[in-house]
Chains A and B, each alone.
Chain A
């Protein structure tokens, strides 16, 4: 099962732009992880007399918002909130989706019907509408967001795993494992999963990007992460409200969320070209 690391394909998959994206992803993750320690101020501390300070103000590098809160600190803590939600949701989606896809693809017949129909039901709703319905019933907040988006992103993983599993389920090494009377769980985990994992690993940053898009979108609407907790979507919304006075907040938060989504997407593209060579011809 040990594969030789193909460095030539690695260098070809990672163009300079994709390396830059990778670097930015690392930067965002570091910022999110270290936010409580590197933020110059408390993101919730108000200082009304010093509101709407411009970029480059002493003591407030990126200026302040409508309550005089430090924008840099809010941006860093916002990264933390967005990433925690996106990561949680993507993990939930990956675990459930891969499990459904593996089972459906390996067993076929009624298992396939059951698992893939479940997935289709999720696809029968426009995602954000389903999310809004659940928020109405359970209320907003981080954990609700993780659960909702975890469910919404199951189909991407389930369908991908299903398709790939179909492709390898009668491969010789799977037949061999079966001939050795390996338990089904072992076949799925040791013989099939490693051989379909390339595409799945590439799907992960793409799902993260989508989760950041949707999660920050809900926060923008005021129905995801709710104020005063800092979130990028919420900052864009507040920035839009006060843009006639001071467009800085809108522009800064817009750049942060856009670059992050773009970088995760590019990283996904690079990983797919590297780990899943079959996909290159398809696109």
Chain B
């Protein structure tokens, strides 16, 4: 188990380095003068302004030195300063990160709490239940997340006036208000994800039910319910965990759009405003944070997989 952990963590670190390197080189692939490009072409930056951008990004130094400074900076938590506001990017991100993490955690819990029972139910009953689940999840996967969000706001906030249309009050100030603000974004974000979880649970449950040991357990006189809940469901969780891991990328991506739909005060709002304003340090900072988050969640899923299925530790 220890060597498995070490190997997984080492892989994650290498991956983080590759990602950081790619982000660094992305800006240096820009044809011509990156400072000019980043200033938005001819959008009124003076030569001094351009020079300032070059200096703040260290573009006037040799490439190797820039790269080393960049890596050291990121490791030390220094993500540079925003072009637009001059504030340290790391600070702005830290202020908004809790809201994003709360959203993602809430949506993940909802997706698992809804997806696993739904999928298990369909896999156990087959027939109509199965057909119902397949069509419901097909639609859930096809509706763009921003459409679900916009329609949810239209119904619950504009028409019925039940929930706030956006924003989030901190939990410490008003716990109920916090939950009401979190509800719509989290449910919207969890929708597609729970569809994926439900489908995978269904497939896994059906496959597991065909195993010989299920028949053996049933013939030993255990009730079907007990065999299903204790053995079939538990042994179906490995592929579900794998799929959760594979889908985290699109899940994080959807959270970027969700934050915009609900005007949610997380890091993605920062990211989107940064992209519109071509505020490169802000974009770079948020992209680094999301990419690292992505790698960390994947690491946790991998380790979880190793705990659930000891065979996975060997590879």
Q: Which residues of A contact B (CB under 8 A)?
A: 121, 123-130, 132-139, 209, 213, 216-217, 220-223, 233, 236-237, 239-240, 243-244, 247, 250-251, 254, 257-258, 261-262, 265-266, 283
**A209-B142, A243-B154, A254-B147 given as contacts; is B19 within 8 A of A124 (CB)?**
yes
Partner pick for B272 among A126, A139, A221, A233, CB 8 A cutoff? A221
Residue of B142, B203, B271, B290 near A258 (CB, 8 A) is B142
Across the interface, name the chain B residue whose C-beta is closest to A17.
Answer: B135
Distance (Å) between the CB of A159 and the closest chain B CB?
11
In the complex, the answer to whether B150 meets A258 with C-beta atoms within 8 Å is no
Residues of chain B lying within 8 A (CB to CB) of residue A220? 144, 146, 257, 260
The answer, yes or no, to whether B294 is at the interface (CB within 8 Å) is: yes
Q: How far is the CB of A236 from chain B (nearest CB, A)?
A: 6
Q: How far is the CB of A151 from chain B (nearest CB, A)?
A: 12
Contact mask B139-162 → A, CB, 8 Å, 1/0? 101111111001101100010000
Given contact pairs A133-B283, A136-B283, A126 touches B291 in the complex (Cβ within 8 A): yes
In the assembled complex, 19 residue pairs joining A and B whose CB atoms fall closer than 8 Å, in A order, are: A121-B18, A125-B249, A125-B291, A126-B250, A127-B250, A128-B253, A128-B254, A128-B257, A129-B271, A132-B287, A133-B287, A136-B275, A136-B278, A217-B145, A220-B144, A243-B153, A254-B147, A257-B144, A262-B138
Within 222-252 of B, Cβ neighbours of A (below 8 Å) are at 248-250, 252
Q: Which residues of the other chain, A, contact B27 by a CB distance below 8 angstroms?
A: 137
By the criterion CB–CB under 8 Å, are B249 and A265 in contact?
no
- Of A138, A243, A265, the residue contacting B150 (CB under 8 A) is A243
* CB-CB under 8 A for A254 and B257, given A129-B291, A132-B275, A222-B276: no
Judged by a CB distance under 8 angstroms, whether B274 is at the interface is yes
Given known contacts A121-B22, A126-B290, A223-B272, A250 and B146 CB-to-CB distance under 8 angstroms: no
Chain A hits for B153, CB < 8 A: 240, 243
Complex Cα–Cα for A243 and B146 (A) = 14
A244 touching B249, Cβ below 8 Å = no
Q: B interface vs A, CB < 8 Å? A: 15, 18-19, 22-23, 26-27, 29-30, 37-38, 40-41, 138-139, 141-147, 150-151, 153-154, 158, 203, 248-250, 252-254, 256-257, 260-261, 271-272, 274-276, 278, 280, 283-284, 287, 290-291, 294-295
Choose one: B26, B41, B150, B276; the contact of A239 (CB below 8 Å): B150
Whether the pair A217, B146 counts as a contact (CB closer than 8 A) is: yes
Q: Which of A138, A237, A254 has the most CB of B within 10 A?
A: A254
List residues of chain B with CB within 8 A of the CB of A254.
147, 150-151
B260 touches A137 (CB 8 A): no
Roughly how many angstroms separate A222 CA and B196 CA in the complex, as a whole number?
28
How far is the CB of B5 from the nearest CB of chain A, in Å? 20
Among B40, B141, B254, contact of A265 (Cβ-Cβ < 8 Å): B141
Q: Kindly state the separation between the CA atoms of A180 and B147 in the bound complex, as whole angstroms.
A: 56
* A153, chain B: closest CB distance, angstroms: 12
B144 touching A217 by the CB < 8 A rule?
A: yes
Q: Which residue of B lies closest to A222 (CB)?
A: B276
Bound: A124/B141 CA distance, A: 22
Distance in Å: Cβ of A147 to nearest Cβ of chain B: 12
Hey, which chain B residues are within 8 Å of A217, CB to CB? Answer: 144-146, 257
CA A28 – CA B15 in complex, angstroms? 41
Q: Which residues of B contact A233 (CB under 8 A)?
A: 144, 146
Beyond A124-B294, A139-B278, A266-B138, 7 additional contacts (C-beta under 8 Å) are A126-B290, A127-B249, A136-B280, A137-B38, A239-B150, A240-B261, A250-B154
Q: Which of B146, B203, B261, B295 has the most CB of A within 10 A?
A: B146
Q: How far is the CA of A124 from the CA of B256 in the complex (A)?
A: 17
Q: Across the interface, which residues of A come within 8 angstroms of B23, CB to CB? A: 133
Contact A262 to B142, CB < 8 A, known contacts A127-B249, A132-B287: yes
Closest to B291 in A: A125
Are A261 and B256 closer than 8 Å at their CB atoms?
A: no
The residue of chain A having its C-beta at the shortest distance from the C-beta of B261 within the complex is A240
Complex: chain B residue closest to A130, CB-CB: B287
Cβ contacts under 8 Å, A138 to chain B? 30, 37
With A124-B295, A129-B253, A250-B150 already in contact, the answer to whether A136 and B274 are too (CB < 8 A) is yes
Q: Is the CB of B147 within 8 A of A258?
A: yes
Question: How many whole Å from B17's CB to the nearest CB in chain A?
Answer: 11
A139 to B153, CA, bound (A): 30
Are the C-beta atoms of A128 and B139 separated by less than 8 Å? no
CA distance A141 to B128 in the complex (A): 45
On whether the beta carbons of B275 and A127 are closer than 8 Å, the reply is: no
B295 / chain A contacts, CB cutoff of 8 Å: 124
Q: Name the B residues within 8 Å of A247 (CB-CB).
A: 154, 158
Q: What distance in Å separates the Cβ of B105 from its nearest Cβ neighbour in chain A?
A: 17
Please state if A126 and B139 are interface contacts (CB–CB under 8 Å): no
